[in-house]
């Protein structure tokens, strides 16, 4: 059986020279790779007590929805600002050059609910830190944060050090 890393295509010098882009879509395009990714993420949750799966736009939706379905949990989308139709809560965070905002519906997390947050990749950790703060702002608790891939050289775990964080694949570089 192949390891999940074998399904990831690495593209050198994209989007700029010296960067190796780790393409998650190559996992999605292979039925065995997709199954292995979902099964591997689900294994990270084996002993975690939680109530809801939260996925960040957009690849957190791709990986979070099957987990929510398999584990019979509700799914909460975290979207870019202005994409949700009902009353929302918003969190801004810093990017390398500027800032961004994400939102979730105000009624998406109930006080005391334990949430698992899911995304495809942890790089600098800014988006997921903002998503965790959104959950907490509604009275929820972050039970665990999981990723398919981690770019350890970008030190995203440092931003998330107060949380239980796990990734299926870990790349040491950027």
Cβ atoms of residues 120 and 145 within 8 Å: no
Q: State the Cα–Cα distance between residues 160 and 137, nearest whole angstrom.
A: 16
Name the maximum alpha-carbon separation found in the chain.
46
Instruction: List, as own/partner pairs, every contact residues 132-135 make where C-beta atoms lie below 8 angstroms and the sequence separation is at least 24, other chains included.
Output: 132/160, 132/163, 133/91, 134/78, 134/89, 134/90, 134/91, 134/102, 134/103, 134/104, 134/109, 135/54, 135/104, 135/109
Cβ atoms of residues 66 and 28 within 8 Å: no
Which residues carry out catalysis?
Answer: 59, 96
Nearby residues of 161 by Cβ (< 8 Å), 6 or more positions away:
none
């Amino acid at each position: 059986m192949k390891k999940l890393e074998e399904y990831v295509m690495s593209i050198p010098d994209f989007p700029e020279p010296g960067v190796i882009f780790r393409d998650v879509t190559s996992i999605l395009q292979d039925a065995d790779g997709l199954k292995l990714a979902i099964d591997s993420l689900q294994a990270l949750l084996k002993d975690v007590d939680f109530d809801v799966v939260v996925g960040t736009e957009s690849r957190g939706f791709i990986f979070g929805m099957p987990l929510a379905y398999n584990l019979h949990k509700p799914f909460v989308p975290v979207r870019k600002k202005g994409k949700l139709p009902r009353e929302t809560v918003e969190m801004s965070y810093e990017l390398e050059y500027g800032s961004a905002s994400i939102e979730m519906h105000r009624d998406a997390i109930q006080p005391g609910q334990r949430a698992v947050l899911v995304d495809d990749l942890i790089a600098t950790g800014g988006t997921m830190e903002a998503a965790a703060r959104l959950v907490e702002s509604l009275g929820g608790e972050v039970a665990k944060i999981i990723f398919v891939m981690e770019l350890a050289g970008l030190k995203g775990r440092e931003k998330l050090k107060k949380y239980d964080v796990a990734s299926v694949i870990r790349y040491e570089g950027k």
